[in-house]
């Protein structure tokens, strides 16, 4: 096995079994030092359990956890150089904000605890509330205290368990940017657990999409979005139109011809899994165009619903075989359709992606949100 | 203003009383709710206290009756004669309180944080002794600790009795009729009053805070000292008060489980009232005990600084 002199976090075959239920199936994962990593998935997918095993709050039933060359699988939480920002913040109510932030440093006998804690509070722009009790602060401020309390210890790995879940939308957006800034400033490894796909994509360098105790796909946000490897990922990260199709043969310019509902469509060859003949052809709603200028792939249908949302308009277009495609058009001055209009929907070959048809079409749909 | 009133016509006169009436009715509600309790306290607390106070300043005897003479000297006389009993009562009550805390805290912690579905059953078991009389239970302890019983035999064989004798908690190699028995009796009788408030405060303790302390490098001992203990202090203060106050005035345990050297102030008051029939002395002693407890409690609560908590 290769040596890892750096501070990479390595999970090898990490497993968690509760009685008859397997929360985390054997998981192998390397999270590079200094990266912003997101574990994304619906509730109950095992992401929080994974996080708690890294923190030492949950004992794995199998596998190993290493930070660099140090094995920490069975060490106690207080012996690990890992800190957590809890979903509930878990600030100590009987201590001042400053005492909360100093807590970890004091336990390790740091002589400069006070100065470092003050510095950490400045980092999250809360220097002026150091003497207050947590209960006197707003939710957003408490959240930042929790972050300062973890960051100040300069852990090898900082774990964030749905840290923004309790904040309202506007504050959440603000904190997303703030978190990203702080991560870049301190250069620590952040592992962020969330069920919010937008949050994960905004902040993380790398995302692991988890479902039912397994990692479905690992990659940077753009790859996950443009080239999902499963229907679960396609549906959980944003929306997808999925058409049942059969591979018909090779086309021109590195394309593949597929046949969906008696229509020949083109898709980039490297977007099609090599061994599949029965596929689900996916296209993101914003890649579809109303009209024929979108590309060589064309389908005709009738608009059944139009909903206007300011920057964009979302159309539902019913295909002759009954399926409804979602089309999202920027409101950039181009022509609009109305309900009942017969329209052509078009897209380019490079915007399609093909998935193995042997999986549920609607995996990950309900959980999205 | 005038213009507004003119255009509104009869408006103000209609809405005025309608909006004011519920407010006026609302103002009476707190007093109405307080009244029964206040009346109760007036009749059953203030009135006896006043009677007792005036009784302590009377002189005379049972046969010829007592007359109010304002004899303040009775207080110094009572203090002179019975200060050892007062000191002893405080000492025993404090020992019993500490013992009850040591026994009750782990139990309350277990019930509140770890017992899961057994929680309610354990709570019922803690309260179960109240289903029988205090007196009966203390009498039962006389049987349990009797000289020829198995407990004494066991204590003798393990050397516990010699140890207790060596530290002066018992006078011979038995258990009954000793300081030890009285303190144990007090601890036993008031333990539920310690456990219940402790349970209430530990039950509210968010276990995620303890988890967070561990995450922030606190060992289990440090996490207890820095997080669990300070957050349970309101329960500790309530429990120790509820144990100490009745224990300091108790007269059953010292009579049934003690000897002539372990007489507590409650027992003195009891016998002065009901046997010697020296009402002024008994009343004065009651007031001295009351004052002493109030002062001790006030100092204790200030020291514990409960207002600092949450």
Q: What is the pLDDT of residues B90-141, one digit of tens each?
A: 999 999 999 999 999 999 999 999 988 999 999 999 999 889 998 999 999 9
Within an 8 Å CB–CB cutoff, is residue B216 touching chain A? yes
Which of residues A160, A192, A226 is at a domain's end?
Answer: A226
Does A82 lie at the interface with B, CB-CB under 8 angstroms? yes
Are both A222 and A252 inside the same structural domain?
Answer: no
Q: Is the CB of A293 inside 8 Å of chain B's CB atoms? A: no
Nearest CB to A104: which of B208, B211, B217? B217
A264 and A144: one domain?
Answer: no
Asked whether residue A272 is domain-assigned, the answer is: yes
Q: Quick count: other Cβ atoms within 10 Å of Cβ A238?
A: 17
Is B209 close to A92, i.e. CB distance below 8 A?
yes
Which pLDDT tens digit goes with each residue over A95-144? Answer: 999 999 999 999 999 999 999 999 999 989 899 999 999 999 999 899 99
Cβ-based contacts of A150 with chain B (< 8 Å): 216
| A154 DSSP assignment | -
Q: Are residues A210 and A252 in the same domain?
A: no
Residue B265, token pair as written in the block? 């102030």
* Whether residue A192 sits in one domain with residue A64: yes
Residue A3 within any structural domain of the chain: no
Q: Which of A168, A201, A226 is the last residue of a domain?
A: A226
Structure tokens, B130: 């109240």
CA distance B302 to chain A (A): 17
B216–A76: do the CB atoms touch at under 8 Å?
no
Distance between start and end Cα atoms, chain B: 48
Domain that holds residue A268: 239-356
Enumerate the residues of chain B whose CB falls inside 8 A of the CB of residue A83: 215-216
**DSSP for chain B, written as a single string:** -HHHHHHHTTHHHHHHHHHHHHHHHHHHHHHHHHHHHHHHHIIIIIHHHHHHHHHHTEEEETTTEEEE---THHHHHHHHHHHHHHHHHHHHHHHHHHHHHHHHHHHHHIIIII-GGGHHHHHHHHHGGGGS-HHHHHHHHHHHT-TTSHHHHHHHHTTHHHHHHHTTS-SSSS-SSSHHHHHHHHHHHHHHHHHHHHHHHHHHS-HHHHHHHHHTT--HHHHIIIIIHHHHHHHHHHHHHHHHHHHHT--HHHHHH--GGG--HHHHHHHIIIII--HHHHHHHHHHHHHHHHHHHHHHHHHHTGGG--
- Both A249 and A221 in one domain: the answer is no
Q: Which CATH number covers residue A170?
A: 3.40.50.300
A107 in reach of chain B (CB within 8 A): yes
Q: Is A362 contained in some domain?
A: no
Which chain B residues are Cβ-neighbours of A51 within 8 angstroms?
none
Supply the pTM of this predicted model: 0.82
| Domain assignment of residue A363, yes or no | no
Name every residue whose Cβ is closer than 8 Å to that of residue B80 and which is 6 or more positions away in sequence: none
How far apart are the C-alpha atoms of A124 and A144, rounded to whole Å? 6
Determine the 3-state secondary structure of A168 from DSSP. Answer: coil
| Domain final residue, candidates A176, A202, A226 | A226
pLDDT tens track for A176-217: 998 999 999 999 999 999 999 999 999 999 999 999 999 999
Indicate if A257 and A160 belong to the same structural domain: no
Q: Are residues A111 and A208 in the same domain?
A: yes
Do A211 and A324 lie in a common domain?
A: no
Give the Cα separation of B213 and B86 in Å (integer). Answer: 44
Residues A15 and A110 both lie in one domain: yes
Q: Which residues contact B97 (CB under 8 A, 6 or more apart)?
A: B190, B194, B240, B243, B244, B247
Q: Give the residue from A313, A335, A317 showing the smallest Cα distance to A326.
A: A317
| Digit-coded pLDDT (tens) for A24-78 | 999 999 999 999 999 999 998 999 999 999 999 999 999 999 999 999 999 999 9
Tell me if A233 is assigned to some domain.
no
Stretch A17-25: mean pLDDT: 93
- Cα B303 from Cα B237, distance rounded (Å): 10
**What residues of chain A lie within 8 A of the CB of B219, using their CB?**
78, 107
**Cα(B101)–Cα(B111) distance, integer angstroms:** 15
CATH code of domain B75-308: 1.10.3720.10
Q: Which residues of A touch B308 (CB under 8 A)?
A: 94
Clarify whether residues A77 and A210 are in a common domain: yes
Query: Is A364 within the bounds of a domain?
Result: no
Which chain B residue lies closest to A135 (C-alpha atoms)? B310
Number of domains in chain A: 2
CA B239 – CA B11 distance, rounded (Å): 58
Q: What is the CATH number of the domain that holds A332?
A: 2.40.50.140
- Give domain limits for chain B: 75-308
What 8-state DSSP symbol labels residue A269? G
What pLDDT was estimated at residue A111? Answer: 93
Q: Distance between CA atoms of B12 and B5, rounded to whole angstroms?
A: 7
pLDDT in tens, B44-102: 999 999 999 999 999 988 888 888 998 999 999 999 999 999 999 999 999 999 999 99
Q: Do A85 and A20 sit in the same domain of this protein?
A: yes
Would you say residue A76 lies in a domain? Answer: yes
Helix ranges, A5-93 (H) = 47-55
């Amino acid at each position: 096995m290769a040596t890892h002199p750096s501070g990479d976090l390595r999970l090898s075959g990490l497993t968690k079994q509760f009685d008859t239920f397997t929360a985390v199936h054997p998981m192998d994962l390397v999270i590079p030092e200094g990266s912003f990593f997101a574990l994304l998935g619906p509730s109950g997918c095992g992401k929080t359990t994974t996080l708690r095993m890294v923190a030492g709050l949950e004992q794995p039933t199998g596998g190993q956890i290493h930070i660099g060359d140090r094995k920490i699988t069975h060490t106690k939480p207080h012996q690990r150089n890992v800190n957590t920002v809890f979903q509930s913040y878990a600030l100590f109510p009987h201590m001042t904000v400053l005492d909360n932030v100093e807590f970890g440093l004091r336990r390790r006998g740091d002589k400069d605890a006070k100065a470092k804690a003050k510095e950490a509070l400045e980092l999250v722009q809360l220097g002026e509330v150091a003497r207050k009790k947590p209960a006197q602060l707003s939710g957003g401020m408490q959240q930042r205290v929790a972050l300062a309390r973890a960051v100040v210890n300069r852990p090898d790995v900082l774990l964030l368990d749905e840290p923004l879940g309790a904040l309202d939308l506007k504050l959440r957006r603000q904190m997303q940017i703030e978190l990203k800034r702080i991560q870049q400033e301190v250069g620590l490894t952040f592992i962020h657990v969330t069920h919010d796909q937008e949050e994960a994509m905004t902040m993380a360098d790398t995302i692991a999409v988890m479902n039912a105790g397994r990692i479905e796909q690992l990659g940077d946000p753009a790859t996950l979005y443009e080239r999902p490897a499963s229907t679960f990922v396609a549906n959980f990260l944003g929306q997808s139109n999925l058409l049942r199709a059969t591979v018909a043969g090779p086309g021109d310019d590195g394309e593949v011809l597929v046949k969906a509902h008696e229509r020949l469509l083109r898709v980039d060859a490297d977007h099609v899994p090599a061994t599949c003949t029965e596929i689900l052809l996916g296209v993101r709603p914003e890649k579809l165009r109303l009209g024929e200028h979108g590309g060589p792939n064309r389908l005709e249908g009738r608009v059944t619903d139009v909903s206007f949302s300011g920057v964009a308009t979302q159309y539902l277009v019913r295909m002759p075989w009954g399926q409804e495609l979602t089309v999202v058009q920027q409101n950039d001055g181009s022509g609009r359709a109305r309900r009942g209009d017969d329209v052509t929907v078009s897209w380019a070959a490079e915007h399609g992606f093909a998935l193995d048809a042997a999986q549920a079409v609607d995996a990950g749909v309900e959980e999205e949100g | 203003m005038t213009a507004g009133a003119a255009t509104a016509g009869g408006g103000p006169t209609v809405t005025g009383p309608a909006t004011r009436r519920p407010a006026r009715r609302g103002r009476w509600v707190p007093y109405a709710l307080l009244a029964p309790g206040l009346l109760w306290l007036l009749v059953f607390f203030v009135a006896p206290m006043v009677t007792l106070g005036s009784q302590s300043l009377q002189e005379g005897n049972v046969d010829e009756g007592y007359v109010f003479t304002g004899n303040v000297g009775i207080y110094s006389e009572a203090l002179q004669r019975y200060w050892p009993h007062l000191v002893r009562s405080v000492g025993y009550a404090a020992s019993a309180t500490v013992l009850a805390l040591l026994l009750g805290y782990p139990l309350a912690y277990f019930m509140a944080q770890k017992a899961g579905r057994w929680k309610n059953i354990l709570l019922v078991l803690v309260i179960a002794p109240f289903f029988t009389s205090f007196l009966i239970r203390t009498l039962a302890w006389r049987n349990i600790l009797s000289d020829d019983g198995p407990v004494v035999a066991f204590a003798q064989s393990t050397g516990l009795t010699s140890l207790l004798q060596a530290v002066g908690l018992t006078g011979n190699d038995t258990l009954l009729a000793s300081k030890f028995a009285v303190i144990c009796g007090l601890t036993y009788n008031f333990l539920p009053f310690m456990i219940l408030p402790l349970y209430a405060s530990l039950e509210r303790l968010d276990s995620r805070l303890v988890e967070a302390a561990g995450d922030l490098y606190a060992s289990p001992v440090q996490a207890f000292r820095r997080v669990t203990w300070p957050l349970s202090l309101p329960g500790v203060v309530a429990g120790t008060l509820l144990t100490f106050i009745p224990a300091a005035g108790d007269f059953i345990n010292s009579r049934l489980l003690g000897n002539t050297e372990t007489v507590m102030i409650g027992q003195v008051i009891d016998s002065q009232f009901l046997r010697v029939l020296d009402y002024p002395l008994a009343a004065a002693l009651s007031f001295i005990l009351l004052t002493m407890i109030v002062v001790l409690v006030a100092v204790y609560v200030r020291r514990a600084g409960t207002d600092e908590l949450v």
